[in-house]
């Protein structure tokens, strides 16, 4: 039940913000909005306010904003709304702005979440040694449990993430100077890392320098100021976009497995439940992470997605004629086919993961 509840909250927040982007820009542009729906299919709850019907539908895997004249092939006639407020009657830049607003609001949501986290406080692991493996480079150099790593190769170490990052930068070319703090005193150790095989965040095997220590349990919180928090929000959002782009490129090149990297609703539900149990910070971080991925996916130039609509607008801008009739219908069918195939493949991956444990 917790997993289902968490999944509904995640989907609801993501869909709401995405469709809210379309809705707000459409309203500001003077376009008549007929429906604002969370979910597809028959409406479970609905209420009309003005010209717009707001509803929660039966199938929560998506949502939509229906605008007057959005589909040039739509034969529905509406007399209660001025036809000049039709989406089709708006200039191309206005239509593109309305479509782009959905993914944009997903990015905005992520930035807001990360900024809020920065203002409340970002927890991190202190660079304190938890365990020293016997006969390891650290053990031979005299490192002990409870030592706080102060510098590595004269570079300051603020958190545990800096330990692995700085060791990776220094490589394994001989001895490395590590300054530690022990019982209020500074000690200088000379450690010679060994190169061990491990995996990076993409699951690729890499060689990395290891000294044979584990992290302790001590944590601290870093709080950012007003401007620093906003900067953290944007930088964290950019980092996720960059990592997602690298992952897409690696999947296309075949350097990482699509089967292991691509997940669907079942995986999202599982992780939603796990992070919900872990606490508010992991849960809202997951919402921000998925929101960024949703924005990127929606911007792919696949008809029926926002990116596909933007592609059609680009073609219209170049040729001077809108893509209508049979060409538009074929493009939408192709886009829908690609989308369904991706969804089925993601479901297949999720089911395989469940059986593999």
pLDDT of residue 349: 85
End position of a domain, from candidates 221, 249, 274: 221
> What are 115's two structure tokens?
């900024």
Q: Is residue 68 part of a domain?
A: yes
pLDDT of residue 150: 93
Residue 80 clears pLDDT 60, i.e. is over it: no
End position of a domain, from candidates 195, 221, 247: 221
Q: Are residues 187 and 268 in the same domain?
A: no
Q: Is residue 280 part of a domain?
A: yes
**Distances from the Cα of 333 to the Cαs of 47, 106, 131, 311, 340, in angstroms?**
32, 26, 58, 15, 10
Please check whether residue 285 is in contact with residue 236, taking contact to mean a CB–CB distance below 8 angstroms. Answer: no
Confidence class of residue 78 from pLDDT cuts 50, 70 and 90?
Answer: low
Number of Cβ within a 10 Å radius of residue 329: 13
Q: Are residues 6 and 110 in the same domain?
A: yes
pLDDT digit string, tens, across residues 199-257: 777 777 788 888 899 988 889 999 999 999 999 999 999 999 999 888 888 888 877 77
pLDDT of residue 81: 60
Q: Is residue 245 part of a domain?
A: no
Q: Average pLDDT over the chain, rounded to whole? A: 88
Q: Is residue 34 part of a domain?
A: yes
Q: Are residues 114 and 130 in the same domain?
A: no
* Percent of the chain topping pLDDT 70: 95
pLDDT of residue 203: 73
Q: Are residues 11 and 111 in the same domain?
A: yes
Q: Is residue 253 part of a domain?
A: no
> What are 281's two structure tokens?
């910070």
CATH number of residue 196's parent domain: 2.30.42.10
Q: Is residue 227 part of a domain?
A: no
Higher pLDDT, 43 or 82: 43
Number of Cβ within a 10 Å radius of residue 270: 17
Q: Are residues 132 and 116 in the same domain?
A: no
Q: Are residues 113 and 24 in the same domain?
A: yes
Residue 155 clears pLDDT 70, i.e. is over it: yes
Domain count across the chain: 2
Q: Are residues 114 and 131 in the same domain?
A: no
pLDDT of residue 173: 63
End position of a domain, from candidates 167, 195, 221: 221
Which of 19, 70, 169, 324 is catalytic? The answer is 19
Q: Are residues 101 and 154 in the same domain?
A: no
Higher pLDDT, 296 or 70: 296
Q: Is residue 243 part of a domain?
A: no
Q: Are residues 116 and 134 in the same domain?
A: no
Q: Is residue 291 part of a domain?
A: yes
pLDDT digit string, tens, across residues 263-281: 888 888 889 999 999 999 9
Segment holding 231, helix H or strand E? helix 226-253
The answer to whether 19 is a known catalytic residue is yes
pLDDT of residue 24: 95
Residue 293 domain boundaries: 2-121+258-356
Q: Are residues 13 and 111 in the same domain?
A: yes
Q: Are residues 108 and 141 in the same domain?
A: no
Q: Are residues 59 and 94 in the same domain?
A: yes
Number of Cβ within a 10 Å radius of residue 252: 10
Distance (Å, whole) CA 287 – CA 18: 13
């Amino acid at each position: 039940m917790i997993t289902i509840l968490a999944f509904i909250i995640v989907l609801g927040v993501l869909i709401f913000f995405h469709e809210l982007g379309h809705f707000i820009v459409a309203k500001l542009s003077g376009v008549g909005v007929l429906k604002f729906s969370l979910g597809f299919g028959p409406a479970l709850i609905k209420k009309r306010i003005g010209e717009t019907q707001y509803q929660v539908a039966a199938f929560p895997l998506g949502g939509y904003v229906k605008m007057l004249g959005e589909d040039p092939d739509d034969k529905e006639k509406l007399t209660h709304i001025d036809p000049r407020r039709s989406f089709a009657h708006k200039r191309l830049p206005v239509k593109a702005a309305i479509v782009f607003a959905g993914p944009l609001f997903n990015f905005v949501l992520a930035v807001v979440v990360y900024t809020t986290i920065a203002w409340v406080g970002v927890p991190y692991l202190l660079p304190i040694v938890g365990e020293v493996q016997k006969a390891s480079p650290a053990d031979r150099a005299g490192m002990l449990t409870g030592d706080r790593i102060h510098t590595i190769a004269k570079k300051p170490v603020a958190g545990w993430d800096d330990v692995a990052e700085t060791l990776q930068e220094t490589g394994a070319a001989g001895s490395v100077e590590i300054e530690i703090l022990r019982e209020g005193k500074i000690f200088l150790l000379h450690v010679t890392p060994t190169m061990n095989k491990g995996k990076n965040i993409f699951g690729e095997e890499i060689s990395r320098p290891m000294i044979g220590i584990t992290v302790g349990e001590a944590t601290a919180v870093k709080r950012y100021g007003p401007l620093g928090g906003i900067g953290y929000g944007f930088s964290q959002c950019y980092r996720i976009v960059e990592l997602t782009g690298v992952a897409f490129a690696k999947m296309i090149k075949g350097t990482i497995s699509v089967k292991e990297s691509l997940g669907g609703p079942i995986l999202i539900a599982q992780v939603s439940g796990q992070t919900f149990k872990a606490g508010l910070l992991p849960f809202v971080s997951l919402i921000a992470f998925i929101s960024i991925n949703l924005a990127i996916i929606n911007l792919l130039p696949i008809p029926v997605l926002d990116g596909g609509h933007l592609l059609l607008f680009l073609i219209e801008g170049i040729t001077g004629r809108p893509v209508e009739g049979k060409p538009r219908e074929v493009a939408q069918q192709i886009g829908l086919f690609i989308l369904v195939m991706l969804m089925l493949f993601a479901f297949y991956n999720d089911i395989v993961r469940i059986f593999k444990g």
